[in-house]
Chain A
Amino acid sequence: MTYFADVGALARKDLLLELRARDTLPAMLLFVVSTLVVFHFVLPAESSDLAATGLLWVALLFTALLGLSRSFAAEREQGVIDGLVLAPSDRSAIWLGKALSILAFLGLAEVIALPAYALFFRPVDAGLVGGVVLADVGIAAVGTLLAAMATASRARELLLPLLFLPLAIPIVIGGVGASVSGEPARYLGLLGLYDALFAIICWASFEYVVTE
């Protein structure tokens, strides 16, 4: 169980850093609410509620990207990632710890975003909430690994959305499907499958992202 102790220590460190610097979560919250307000003006008066749901997913995705692009900032600045890589813990613990902290940020951003959406557009149902929860897992898993990749490259923040969006298309399909269709089960199933498959790949391959 030392593995989970390592993961816990790393995730705790990220939350502590956020508590200290407060530079990611407030930005995510402000961004998601501003985007929803912008979307009110994007939608013409006669457009259906379904369009608003689609836009909610766009807002959530880009909010996640905003958080992800900052996720390895502390490690990058001082090359601290080397210190974590040298520690005896399994390297995948670095990924899992970071993914959990991203998941916490996403969850907190959505605790604000979903009520705001319900207030501005239309009520939130169980399918939507289920979709958001499962999508968060996939976004955190894949996004964390891609953020680590982007950090290593010259293009950095610029590269992350390019790497992430094609991989996020199944998440969007599953999420929007779960929110708008009468029978969300099969879309939730797709999201669950995506989460499981990509979490395993990320878990197994993270070591290669941080070592040579």
Chain B
Amino acid sequence: MIHARALEKRYGDKRILRGVSLDVGTEDFLLVTGPNGSGKTTLLRLCAGLAAPSRGELSVGVERGRLGYLGHEPLVYRELTAHENLDLYGRLYRIAERRERTGMLLERFGLWDARHARAGSFSRGMLQRLALCRTLLHEPSLLLLDEPYSGLDDEGERLLDRELAERVARATFVVATHEPERLEQFASARLALA
């Protein structure tokens, strides 16, 4: 699914990634660990196609529309409601049964009652839940998750656990985190960045 050789990424004079190689198969769940600033986020951005490697090869065996990316930012419009945000992404991802999918996900992540509230009025944890809905909306076959548990409360963590357990057999995962304990149960491969 993902094949990378001697990947290097530099921003001007700063080298963020240096000589990273990895192979991720279709069934894999890759756990990327490492301290702050070790390039976890950069690696995910490269895999998502949001940035291009400075050197090395990278091929991702899935088209853009089949990729789900959860970054640091929720990537939603603050002035739009939760429902409107998901509806916009549903249109852009050309999801046929947009209404049902949106409703189902909002329900699942406990946002149904807040669906007509502006995303700007959400707490950090609610925004993370909304971002998860956005990421999973189009049933991606490759999921790139950057610190997926950040900001979630106990209930939210449980919801995400359930979601991951359900999907781990159906999709490929690359998950970056600095506290891997919670995700060890799913991991089939590990990459430690320094």
Contact = CB atoms under 8 A, between A and B. Distances in A.
Classify A-B as touching or not with yes or no (CB < 8 A): yes
Interface string A70-97: 0000100111101111111100000000
B46 to A, nearest CB: 9
A207 to B, nearest CB: 11
Q: How large is the interface on A (under 10, 10 to 19, 20 to 34, 35 or more residues)?
A: 20 to 34
Given A6-B92, A87-B93, A211-B52, A80 B65 contact: no
Contacts of A212: 50-52
B50 A17 contact: no
B75 A83 contact: yes
Interface in B60-100: 63-65, 67, 69, 71, 73-80, 84, 88-89, 91-94
A78 B51 CA distance: 18
A2 interface: yes
Contact of A80 (B49, B51, B77): B77
A178 B52 CA distance: 46
B94 A17 contact: no
Q: How large is the interface on B (under 10, 10 to 19, 20 to 34, 35 or more residues)?
A: 20 to 34
A86 B48 contact: yes
B115 interface: no
A212 B10 CA distance: 12
B64 A86 contact: yes
A9 B74 contact: no
B75 A80 contact: yes
Nearest to A75: B77
A13 B84 CA distance: 9
Contacts of B50: 82, 85-86, 211-212
A131 to B, nearest CB: 34
Interface in A11-39: 13, 16-17, 20-21
A50 B24 CA distance: 69
Interface of B: 48-52, 63-65, 67, 69, 71, 73-80, 84, 88-89, 91-94, 118, 134
